[in-house]
Amino acid sequence: QIKRRADYMPPAFAISTVDLHITLHPTETRVFSSLRIKRQGSHQDALVLDGDNLPVNKTSIDGIELSRKSDNSPGYVLDESSLTIPVESDEFTLEIETTIAPSRNKALEGLYLSGGAYCTQCEAEGFRRITFFMDRPDVLSVYTVTVVGDTSFPMLLSNGNPIDKGQLTNGQHFVKWHDPHPKPCYLFALVAGDFDMLSDTFTTASGKEVALELYVDKGKQGQGTFALESLKRAMKWDEEVFGLEYDLDIYMIVAVDFFNMGAMENKGLNVFNSKFVLADQNTATDDDFFNVEAVIAHEYFHNWTGNRVTCRDWFQLSLKEGLTVFRDQQFSADMTSELSNRIKHVRVMREHQFAEDASAMSHPIRPDEVIEMNNFYTVTVYDKGAEVIRMFHTLLGPDGFRKGMDEYFKRHDGQAVTCDDFVSAMQSATSLDLSQFARWYSQSGTPIISVKQSKLDDGKHTITLSQHTPATSEQSEKHPLYMPIKMEVMDEDGVQYTDNEAIINDGMVILDKESVSFTIDAPNKTLTPVVLGNFSAPAKVNNELPTTSLLTIFKYGKDAFNRWDAMQSIYNRCISELERAPGEAIDNDIWAGIREAIVREQDNVELLGECLVIPSFETLCQSRTSINVQTLSAARKAFCSQFAQHLESSLLDVFNSIESAPYAYNQNAVNQRRCKNVVLAHLARLPQHESLVIKQFEQADNMTDTLGALRCAQFCQRDTFDSLMAKFEQKWSNDPLVLDKWFALHATQASKDIFATITMLCEHPQFTMSNPNRVRSVIGSFAFYNSEMFHALDGSGYKFVTDYLLKLDTLNPQVAARIVTPLTQWQGFAVEHQTLMKEQLGRLLNHKGLSKDVFEKVSKSLAYG
C-alpha cells in the first residue's frame, strides 16, 4: 500500500493525444476515450492503466476489439484498480468505453453531480475514477473533449478553446473543446450546468486579448465582480514581476458549492469552492475578500508554476505548491500590506505546521512515503514549502530569484520535473553553494534556534546562535540546516550594533553549522539580540530574553514584524506565569509597557491591531509540552480578563479614536476595522461595555463589523450572545456560505450544552453532511478550535468527533481525514488526554471498511510515541 519516492520509474508508454467523448447522465455517464499511445524504450511489457472500479463496456486496439482474458483466450485483465492490456505494436490507438454514475459520487473526486451541476476534481488521482488512463503527472497529452448533455445544462465546459458545438436530436447538445498544451490528466476538467456568467477581457503585455469568464450560481452575479477584478490584477502582476503571460484565448473560473478543497487550477478552467469566489460587502468579511483575491491569484499563477512546468511524480508536489503559495503571498503583500501578510502566514506556520512536524504525520516538504496522496496536501508541503522558496528569495535577492525563475522556465517549459531541477535552476543564478540548503527538501521537523550571550571583561559581548532539530516520527537523524537568520542587535536605548567580524552581513547571519559566534563591542551596555527577524527561516526560537528586553524590542526594533513578535512573546510568557500560579497578578511594569506602546502606536493602527491580539490557544500549544488543556485555557482566559481590566481606558481611547466610515475594501479601511474589532473583543469582557458590542452589531453596514460584534458577544452575557446569534441566523437563513460563520461560532463555544448545540446545527435545514463546507464549519471548527470541549477530560469531545467521522468516512474520506487531524496530534498533551485520544483512535482503526485516507493518519498516530 505504501508508495515510495525512491521507486520512481519513468512511464513505459507515452500517450500523445486523448480524445474524450462524454455523454452526461446522473447514473449512466458514458465515457468514450481514444488514446494515441507509443511504447517508451525497448520492452515488451503490457500496458497497465489505472481505473478505479470502472467497467469496460468495450475496448479495441487499432480498431480490433479485445475481449477479457479467459482460460482459453488471451485478452485484457480487469480488477478494481487497473486494466492490463497485452500489446505487441509499439504505436497504436486504444479505444475504451466505460460508464460512471456522477450522482452517486459523494467523495467529490472524479466526476460528480452536486448542487445541480456536473463538475470534476482530478488532482491528485481522480481521473482514474472517470476513465482508464496512466494516472500520473509525467504523462502529458493533448486533449480534445466532446461534452454531450441535456439542454437543461446549457453550459458545457472543458479545457482549452471551444472548437465546435451543436444541437443533437434527443433534447441534447454538445460542445467540443481542444487544449493545445500537453497536460497531465490531473489538470483535466469538465463542468456542466446552468450558471450566471460574468465576462471581461484582459489584454496581455504582448497584446493578445484573453476572454475571461466567471460562472456562478444563478442570482449570485453581483458577488462575482471582486473575483474577476482580482483575476485581472493577478494576470497583470505575473507579467510585471515574473514576465509570465497567459497562453490560451480563454480563461474560465467556475464556482461550485460542493468542493473538497479551496480550488483547482485545471488548464483554462479553474474550479473553485464558491467560498473563494463570492464576496460582497454584506456577506463577506475583509478576510473573505483577502482570501478570494489570494486563491484566485494562486490558481492563476499555477498556469506557469504547475501547468506549463508540472511535477514528475506526486512526491514533488511542493515543486508547484510551495512555489505557487510563495508567489500568491508576494502578490497579496503587494496588493495589501507586507506586515499583515507576514503575520498571517507566520500564524499558520506556528499554529498548524509546527504541530504537523511534531506529529506522526511529520514529513519533509518533499515526502518519501505516501499511502494516500490526498493526505499530503499539507501545511508542510504548501506553507513550509513556501517558506523554503522564500529563503531562496532572501538568499538570492529579488533579481537573483527572478534570474533563477527565468532559467527554470527556459529549461523546463512543457516538462514534468523534480524539486532537484528547481534547485539546480536556482543554483545557476547564484554564486552561493546551495547544496546544503537543498537539505530542506529531505529533512523534516522544526529546527530550534538558541541564542546565548556572554559579557567579557573588556566590554565585548559574545553572541552564539546554535541550531538543533529534534527527531521526528519518521526520521531520527537530523543534520544542520542552512538558514538565513535576520538579526537586529540593540542596547537599552535602541542603539543598533553590528559585530566585529562582519558575520552579521546586511542584517543577516548565515547559520549553516551547529553554531556560529560573533563579538560586539558595547562597554557597559545590555544588548538585546533579535533573531529570526521577519521569520526568515521556518524555525522556532528558544527565547530566553527577559521581559524588559522584549519591551525594548517593541520600543526600538526597526522591523515591524519583530516588534509584533516581541509582544507575542510577552503575552506568551505572562500566560505561562498564570499557568504556574493561577490567580497571580501580572507585573505592573508589563501593563505600563503595553499602555505606553498603545499610546505611541495610536496612529499605526495596523501594527497596533496585531499587537493587541493574544496568541491563540493553538499557538500557545507549540511552545509547551504535556499540555493540560483546562489549565492552559484557564490561564489564557485569566490573562485576557486582566488585560481588559488593566488597559480598559487605553483600549477605549483606541476604540473611540477609530471613526466608522462607510464600507470600502482597501488596506487602510481594513486596518481600522481590524484594530477596532480586536479592541472591542477585549472590552467585551467587561460587562460595562456590552452596549458597545450590541451597538456595533445593530449599526454595521458590512459583514466584517457584524461578525466582529457577534464574535465579541461570546464574551458578553449568554442572553446577549444568544439573541444576537438568533438575529443573525434569521437574517441569513438562506445563505449557507454566510451561515457557515454562524455554524463555526456556535461550534467553538465552550458551553456545557455544546453537544446539544452541535446536534441542533447538524439538523439545521441548511446543514448537510454531503457538503464539505458545512461539515468543516461545524465538526471541523469543533475539533480544531473548541479546545476546551474537544479536550474535555470525560472524553466526550473525542468520542463525539470519532462517532461523526465513522459516518463521514463512508461518504467523503478526504474530508474525514482532514478533520481527524486534531485527534491524531495527541503527543503534546498530558497523559490523561493522551489515553482518551488513543482510545478513540483505536475505535477508528478497528472499524471495518475504514478508508485508506483515515487509516494512514490513524495508524501512524497510534504507532508513534
In whole angstroms, how close is the CB of 741 to ligand ARG at the nearest point? 23
Q: What whole-number distance in Å separates Cα of residue 860 and Cα of residue 856?
A: 6
**Nearer Cβ to Zn ion, position 323 or 612?**
323
Stretch in the footprint of Zn ion (CB under 5 A) among 324-332, 423-431, 613-621, 671-679: 324-332
Q: What whole-number distance in Å separates Cα of residue 54 and Cα of residue 98?
A: 7
Q: Which residue has the cell 527565468?
A: 406
Distance of CA 251 to the CA centre of its chain: 23
Stretch in the footprint of Zn ion (CB under 5 A) among 318-326, 344-352, 354-362, 517-525: 318-326
In whole angstroms, how close is the CB of 852 to ligand ARG at the nearest point? 14
Cell numbers given for 101: 454514475
Is there binding between residue 264 and ligand ARG (CB under 6 A)? yes
**Nearer Cβ to ligand ARG, position 376 or 437?**
376
Is there binding between residue 261 and ligand ARG (CB under 6 A)? yes
> Closest CB to ligand ARG belongs to which residue?
377
**Nearer Cβ to ligand ARG, position 120 or 374?**
374
- In 3D space, the residue among 421, 462, 463, 457 whose CA is nearest the CA of residue 438 turns out to be 421
**Nearer Cβ to Zn ion, position 114 or 324?**
324
Q: Quick one: what does residue 377 bind among ligand ARG, Zn ion, none, with the CB cut-off 5 to 8 Å set by partner type?
A: ligand ARG
- In 3D space, the residue among 104, 107, 133, 102 whose CA is nearest the CA of residue 119 turns out to be 102
Q: Distance of CA 728 to CAs 286, 507, 723, 735, Å?
A: 18, 50, 9, 11
**Nearer Cβ to ligand ARG, position 285 or 812?**
812
In whole angstroms, how close is the CB of 125 to ligand ARG at the nearest point? 8
User: How many residues at the interface with ligand ARG, by CB under 6 A?
Assistant: 11
Residues between 297 and 316 that touch ligand ARG (CB under 6 A): 298-299
In whole angstroms, how close is the CB of 461 to Zn ion at the nearest point? 45
DSSP 587: P
Report whether the peptide linkage leading into residue 124 is cis, meaning its omega lies within 30 degrees of zero.
yes
In whole angstroms, how close is the CB of 271 to ligand ARG at the nearest point? 10
Q: Quick one: what does residue 383 bind among Zn ion, ligand ARG, none, with the CB cut-off 5 to 8 Å set by partner type?
A: none
Stretch in the footprint of ligand ARG (CB under 6 A) among 232-240, 261-269, 409-417, 521-529: 261-269
Note whether 547 and 570 are within 8 A (CB): yes
Q: Quick one: what does residue 809 bind among ligand ARG, Zn ion, none, with the CB cut-off 5 to 8 Å set by partner type?
A: none
Residues between 347 and 366 that touch Zn ion (CB under 5 A): none
**Nearer Cβ to ligand ARG, position 146 or 324?**
324
Stretch in the footprint of ligand ARG (CB under 6 A) among 149-157, 260-268, 349-357, 836-844: 260-268
Phi/psi region, residue 146 (left: phi>0; alpha: psi -120 to 50; beta: rest), is beta
**Nearer Cβ to Zn ion, position 321 or 351?**
321
Stretch in the footprint of ligand ARG (CB under 6 A) among 93-101, 263-271, 356-364, 565-573: 263-271
Is there binding between residue 816 and ligand ARG (CB under 6 A)? no
Cell numbers given for 566: 516581541
Q: What whole-number distance in Å separates Cα of residue 257 and Cα of residue 280?
A: 17
Helix (H/G/I), strand (E/B), else coil: 424: helix
Q: Quick one: what does residue 123 bind among ligand ARG, Zn ion, none, with the CB cut-off 5 to 8 Å set by partner type?
A: ligand ARG
DSSP 829: B
User: How many residues at the interface with Zn ion, by CB under 5 A?
Assistant: 2
Residue 514 burial (10 A CB sphere; 0-12, 13-18, 19+): exposed
Q: Quick one: what does residue 124 bind among ligand ARG, Zn ion, none, with the CB cut-off 5 to 8 Å set by partner type?
A: ligand ARG
Residues between 558 and 597 that touch ligand ARG (CB under 6 A): none
Binding mask 444-463 for ligand ARG (x = CB under 6 A): --------------------
Stretch in the footprint of ligand ARG (CB under 6 A) among 258-266, 530-538, 551-559, 586-594: 258-266
Residue 158 burial (10 A CB sphere; 0-12, 13-18, 19+): buried
**Nearer Cβ to ligand ARG, position 378 or 552?**
378
User: Which string of DSSP letters, residue by residue, matches 681-715?
Assistant: HHHTTSGGGHHHHHHHHHH-SSHHHHHHHHHHHTT
In whole angstroms, how close is the CB of 377 to Zn ion at the nearest point? 8
Cell numbers given for 53: 472500479
- In 3D space, the residue among 547, 415, 501 whose CA is nearest the CA of residue 137 turns out to be 415
Dihedral sign (CA 759, 761, 765, 771): negative
Q: What whole-number distance in Å separates Cα of residue 355 and Cα of residue 473?
A: 12
Q: Quick one: what does residue 323 bind among ligand ARG, Zn ion, none, with the CB cut-off 5 to 8 Å set by partner type?
A: none
Max Cα distance, the chain (Å):
96
In whole angstroms, how close is the CB of 320 to Zn ion at the nearest point? 7
What amino acid positions are annotated as catalytic residues?
Answer: 299
Q: Which residue has the cell 511504447?
A: 39
Alpha helix (H) ranges present in 367-384? Answer: 379
Q: Which residue has the cell 497571580?
A: 584
Residues between 358 and 397 that touch ligand ARG (CB under 6 A): 374, 377
Q: Which helix (H) or strand (E) holds 239?
A: helix 225-242
Q: Which helix (H) or strand (E) holds 463?
A: strand 460-468
Report the residue from 19, 217, 257, 265 that binds ligand ARG according to the rule CB under 6 A.
Answer: 265
How many helices and strands in the chain, by DSSP H and E? Answer: 28, 31
**Nearer Cβ to Zn ion, position 109 or 321?**
321
**Nearer Cβ to ligand ARG, position 294 or 651?**
294
In whole angstroms, how close is the CB of 295 to ligand ARG at the nearest point? 8
Cell numbers given for 240: 510585471
**Nearer Cβ to Zn ion, position 321 or 387?**
321
DSSP 406: H
In whole angstroms, how close is the CB of 186 to ligand ARG at the nearest point? 8
Stretch in the footprint of ligand ARG (CB under 6 A) among 256-264, 536-544, 690-698, 748-756: 256-264
Stretch in the footprint of Zn ion (CB under 5 A) among 323-331, 408-416, 788-796, 819-827: 323-331
Q: Which residue has the cell 475571461?
A: 212
Q: Distance of CA 674 to CAs 172, 606, 704, Å?
A: 52, 8, 9
In whole angstroms, how close is the CB of 264 to ligand ARG at the nearest point? 5
In whole angstroms, how close is the CB of 137 to Zn ion at the nearest point? 13
Report the residue from 263, 358, 396, 683 that binds ligand ARG according to the rule CB under 6 A.
Answer: 263
Q: Provide the CB-side half-sphere exposure for 307 (13 A, CA).
A: 27
Amino acid, res. 420 = D
Residues between 109 and 168 that touch ligand ARG (CB under 6 A): 123-124
- In 3D space, the residue among 331, 381, 372, 329 whose CA is nearest the CA of residue 352 turns out to be 381
**Contact residues for ligand ARG, defined by CB under 6 A:** 123-124, 261, 263-265, 298-299, 321, 374, 377
**Contact residues for Zn ion, defined by CB under 5 A:** 321, 324
